[in-house]
Amino acid sequence: MKSQMASLIGSGIALALALTACGAGGNGREGPASSTAESAPVIDIGSLYEPQNLDNVGGGGQGVIEALGGNVYEGLFRLTDDGTIENLLAADYKVSRDGLTYTFYLHEGVRFHSGDPLTGADVEYSLERIIDDGSTSPRKSALSVIKSIETPGTSTVVVKLSSRSISFVYNLSHVWIINDTVKEPATAEDGTGPYRLGTWKRGSSLCLDRFDGYWGAAPKNRQVVFHYFTDASALNNALLTGTVDLVTSEQSPDALAQFTGDPRYKVSEGRSTTKLLLAFNDREPPFDKVLVRKAVSSAIDDGKLLESIWDGHGSLIGSMVPPSDPWYEDLTEVNPYDVELARRQLAEAGYPEGFTFTLDTPNYDPHPTIATFVKSELAKVGITVDINTITADEWYTKVYQRHDFTATLQEHVNDRDIRWYGDPDFYWGYDNPQVATWIKQSEEASTLDGQTALLRKASRQIAEDAASDWLYLNPQIVVSTAGVSGYPVNGLNAQFYVYGIDKR
Amino acid sequence: MTAYLLRRTLLLVISLLLASSVLFLLLRLLPGDPANSLLSVGATPEQVAAARHEIGSDLPLPEQFASWIGRMATLDLGRSFISSLPVGPEIAGRLVVTAPLTILAFLLAVLISVPAGFVTAHRRGTWYGSLLGGVSQFGLAVPVFWVGMLLITVFALHLRLLPAGGFPADDWADPAAALTSLVLPVLTVSLVMSASLIRYVHSAALDVLGSDYLRTARALGSSFAGAIWRHGLRNAAVPVVSILGIELATTFLGAVVVENVFALPGLGSMLVKAFAQHDYPVIQGILVLSTFTVLLIGFLADVVQRLIDPRLRRTATGGPE
């Protein structure tokens, strides 16, 4: 055993030594250029979200999308940082009159990093991975509308749907097209993006090297290195000491104070899709009563909460729809902050003296602080909150899977996720058949206007039913050194396109 | 001595096997499901089942245990549930950070604490003796992350002499860069470690300084330094070596905090992440390796003590070799 362990250690050290350098030469990457190197800069990025593996289907997490989405892998369509959809690997597409058949024409001359040409078979393979029975992809339910996929020519793909899906093209922007020869996408990469995966030093950094055979416009930099941190102050120290050029997501306003007002740094606040929810269990008393939910929503001063957590950044939303979704409207007045109104509603609902409930609170920031705030706000109307702090894992099992809770706090990060209010089996158990119908119809709408109109109705209705209490929308804050430009500021759906980043 | 070594080695192997089995079972008692880490909000029960099947956590416990022990015998630590990568090479990749960090910090702590311990014992009345004693008291009371943050603030953020954290992506390809990034972490660990070591060396030295044999040696004309060198160090070393063994093991296990503060890709940060994700193969791999290291250090400390002090050899084996 001893010698085996020793040989393991030995081989590991040898392996590590054999790994090729991430940059041209350690810290002095910007030093004297070798004969093949160009003047394009190397960009160092600091992030808290290291990928778990290389696959966005098998739970690589938010980090895999940040690092690889649009950079290493591309979809048929691209979701731009402004939230619009552009053709990417699909040069063009057409939809049949009944909206059930989509024909996609692929760009000519696109090659994977391995050199293989892009064909319809790769698209078919990539789509089938997601809708497959064994798939664990979070996009599976949205794409389960796919009935069949055919590839009549090498660069044509025909997809038939079982029902109309107006978000289909949008949803395809989340699907990475990978080479169909890659059988283990969690550990090996072969995409068509402007970068290929370089060295990944787990727990520390991941390099993206510019791919010279890229079919589109060449990136503005020759290499991007993601540096990963588990500790937010270590991340900020890296920016302060010049180890990184920018930080993808600043998580605390306290840290932000070091950079705002300092000409050496740029702070940008974009539109996030991360909503902080006080989610009720709408199946169980007392939150099965609309009036009780409205009363709780009105008793909490969301503006004061946002100020104390985010120090003026972020925004208030009165429903599940963030401003970057096409069907956004300001609904903050539906359940305004009004303690008197809350008292009247409680009395009318049969709880004039208030009640006591347990709030399941994830143990990581900012939830414990919010729970304390909610507790003191609700005390004003006679409601007693017992805070029950749980781990993320317990939350998933107890709240999400078993629905064993009265109320909870949670962040919901995705865009266009109002659809969960159309699913009575979802963890919060909101069940309004009218809303479910609108949401279902919106997906089958034949025009974007039709879809938008229906989702606005749904959004207003869930606000009127106070299905949950939408406390606030997180800000999306990127901090960089002054000379860095061309980075995405909204980072929708955790994506972070790096090809436009330049450094003076 | 040979018989002793054989017996001790056998004991080492048995302890490791027992510890591994207990570890395996304890991990399974933890609440939570590794499949959760592979899924996100919106997952259906079928997707949960698919994830469990994929990583094999749906198999009966005895079956999981048998396959794990079976693979261990061939030194295959299995694959991570989360990254799908083999655990052995992953651990080896982290060891190139944690092992130098631990060893360097340990050596530095010994270099600081042995002389300092002797000085505090020998010069109890003097101002520097009291100062050293006071500093070590203070060091005991201070948490390691605080020392780390203090060093970062001074040497990285203000003086800009050293990096605030991180480790070169190419590991030791550029040894100077790798060493530079280890300076502050090593200082942090060794300072905290020295604080407790000084106190042990201090009391061991007190025993020696007050001993008859030292007085006898002095009486026979040996200088103080000569007497300490010939007799004192050797006698003080016996208890100190066993403490050093324990300290080395603690440092190895306690690297977690320091690695987080300095953003080092070591075993500690790997273990914390693996626990959060219920990545059993990774947790098992790291803990088995740590257990083995701790047992091995204990074993070596024992052997070294025996080499230093012939009396131990006789009592343990029942007679001279």
Asked if the C-beta of B50 comes within 8 angstroms of chain A's C-beta atoms, the answer is yes
Q: So what's the pLDDT on residue A385?
A: 97
Give a yes or no: residue A64 inside a domain.
Answer: no
Residue of A nearest to B91 (CA): A12
**B116 in the same domain as B70:** no
Domain that holds residue B67: 32-76
Q: So what's the pLDDT on residue A215?
A: 95
**A409 in the same domain as A279:** yes
* CB pairs < 8 Å spanning A and B: 202
Asked if the C-beta of B167 comes within 8 angstroms of chain A's C-beta atoms, the answer is yes
User: Which H helix or E strand runs over A120?
Assistant: helix A120-131
**A456 in the same domain as A336:** yes
Residue of B nearest to A51 (CA): B83
End position of a domain, from candidates B44, B76, B108: B76
How many whole angstroms separate alpha carbon A29 and alpha carbon B170? 12
Q: So what's the pLDDT on residue B312?
A: 74
**A488 in the same domain as A457:** no
Contacts of B161 (CB under 8 A, 6+ apart): B155
Phi first, then psi: what are they for A97, rounded to 5°? -60, -35
Q: So what's the pLDDT on residue B311?
A: 76
Would you state the structure tokens that stand for residue B39, as one six-digit string?
Answer: 């899924």
**A363 in the same domain as A495:** no
**B181 in the same domain as B53:** no
Give a yes or no: residue A57 inside a domain.
Answer: no
* CA A319 to each of CA A199, A359, A361, A435, A459: distance values in angstroms, whole numbers, following the listed order: 43, 21, 21, 13, 6
**B150 in the same domain as B49:** no
**B124 in the same domain as B38:** no
**A318 in the same domain as A253:** no
Asked if the C-beta of A204 comes within 8 angstroms of chain B's C-beta atoms, the answer is yes
Give a yes or no: residue B50 inside a domain.
Answer: yes
CATH of the domain at B248: 1.10.3720.10
End position of a domain, from candidates A187, A217, A235: A187
What is the number of other CB atoms lying within 10 angstroms of the CB of residue B45? 8
Give a yes or no: residue A67 inside a domain.
Answer: no
Do the Cβ atoms of A231 and B289 come within 8 Å? Answer: no
End position of a domain, from candidates A133, A154, A187: A187
Q: So what's the pLDDT on residue B45?
A: 75
Q: Mean pLDDT by 10-residue block, N- to C-terminus, for chain A (504 residues)?
A: 40 39 43 52 94 80 90 96 92 95 96 96 95 82 92 94 95 94 90 95 93 95 94 89 92 82 92 92 95 97 93 91 92 96 96 95 90 96 96 86 94 88 94 96 94 97 97 94 94 89 93
Give a yes or no: residue B133 inside a domain.
Answer: yes
**A213 in the same domain as A87:** no
Give a yes or no: residue A65 inside a domain.
Answer: no
CA dihedral B264, B30, B65, B58 (to 10 degrees): -100
ipTM: 0.81
> Of B41, B75, B172, which has the smallest distance from its Cβ to A4's Cβ?
B75
The total domain count for chain B is: 2
How many helices (H) and strands (E) are present in chain A, helices listed first?
14, 18
**A394 in the same domain as A260:** no
Give a yes or no: residue B13 inside a domain.
Answer: no
**A232 in the same domain as A177:** no
Asked if the C-beta of A336 comes within 8 angstroms of chain B's C-beta atoms, the answer is no
**B37 in the same domain as B95:** no
Do the Cβ atoms of B50 and A134 come within 8 Å? Answer: yes
**B101 in the same domain as B64:** no
How many whole angstroms separate alpha carbon A47 and alpha carbon A97? 45
Give a yes or no: residue A119 inside a domain.
Answer: yes
Q: So what's the pLDDT on residue B11?
A: 87
Contacts of A13 (CB under 8 A, 6+ apart): B92, B95, B96
**A448 in the same domain as A316:** yes
**B228 in the same domain as B92:** yes
pLDDT tens, B26-48?
888 777 777 777 776 667 777 77
Do the Cβ atoms of A238 and B263 come within 8 Å? Answer: yes
Q: Rounded to the nearest 10 degrees, what angle do helices B144-151 and B233-261 cross at?
A: 70
End position of a domain, from candidates A136, A163, A187: A187
Q: Mean pLDDT by 10-residue block, N- to C-terminus, for chain B (321 residues)?
A: 84 85 82 72 74 78 83 83 88 91 90 86 78 80 87 91 87 90 92 85 83 83 79 77 78 76 89 84 87 84 82 57 41
Phi first, then psi: what are they for B33, rounded to 5°? -135, 125
Domain that holds residue A334: 275-473
How many angstroms away from the CA of A192 is the closest CA of chain B? 22
* Rg of chain A on CA atoms, in Å: 25
The total domain count for chain A is: 3
**A391 in the same domain as A251:** no
* Rg of chain B on CA atoms, in Å: 24
What is the number of other CB atoms lying within 10 angstroms of the CB of residue B315? 9
**A397 in the same domain as A453:** yes
Q: Which long-range contacts (CB under 8 A, 24 or more apart) does A106-109 make?
A: A106/A76, A106/A155, A106/A156, A106/A157, A107/A155, A107/A215, A108/A155, A109/A215
> Of B39, B40, B165, which has the smallest distance from its Cβ to A238's Cβ?
B165
Give a yes or no: residue B177 inside a domain.
Answer: yes
pLDDT tens, B146-178?
889 999 999 999 998 898 888 888 888 899 999
Asked if the C-beta of B263 comes within 8 angstroms of chain A's C-beta atoms, the answer is yes
**B175 in the same domain as B55:** no
Asked if the C-beta of A24 comes within 8 angstroms of chain B's C-beta atoms, the answer is no
**B167 in the same domain as B57:** no
Q: So what's the pLDDT on residue B249?
A: 73
Q: So what's the pLDDT on residue A11?
A: 41
Give a yes or no: residue A448 inside a domain.
Answer: yes
- Angle ∠(B300,B305,B310) on CA atoms, nearest 5: 135
Give a yes or no: residue B145 inside a domain.
Answer: yes
Phi first, then psi: what are they for A269, rounded to 5°? -110, 115
CATH of the domain at A77: 3.90.76.10
